[in-house]
Amino acid sequence: MTAQTTGRPVLRLVALGDPAASFDTRWREDAACSGLDTELFFPVDERAESVEPPRRVCRGCPVRAACLADVLATEDPARRYGITGGTTPAERRTLHRAGLTTAPAATVPAAGGDVA
Ligand code: SF4
């Protein structure tokens, strides 16, 4: 089975602990937020107008799946802050409770669900 290609970054949800979600940290070298003001990613609240500017950066980020997988694997559940991997703390809480993380589309068969 081959991964679908859409021409844009696709986040494929996989179960936490899935070996397909393993990765190293070299992805950080390609982060779209590299060099940007980090305050952009820590909006004062989670209203749409507050979170849209950092989400816009994340949507175009080539390493979004690895970023989100990393934060879901390493973030302290009691201390979720900021927009990372294109998600709010509340969204990451939901993904974590569901036992889901992400992997780059190329590493997982097309049967999983996508997060755009
Ligand atoms: S997904 Fe967003 S927070 Fe993560 S590396 Fe890319 S731009 Fe930065």
Q: What would the pLDDT profile of 18-55 be if each residue is shown by its tens digit? A: 555 555 788 899 999 999 999 999 999 989 999 999 99
How far apart CA 30 and CA 22 sit, in angstroms, is 17
Residue from 59, 64, 80, 101 whose mutation best tests the ligand 1 pocket (most atoms within 8 A of CB):
64
pLDDT at 106 over 80: no
CB distance 84 to ligand 1 below 6 Å:
yes
81-105 pLDDT per residue, tens: 999 999 999 999 998 888 877 665 4
What is the per-residue pLDDT for 98? Answer: 84
Q: How confident is the model at residue 112 (pLDDT cuts 50, 70, 90)?
A: very low
Domain range annotation of the chain: 11-109
Residue nearest to ligand 1 atom 4, measured at CA? 85
CB distance 9 to ligand 1 below 6 Å:
no
For residues 82 and 42, is the Cβ–Cβ distance under 8 A? yes
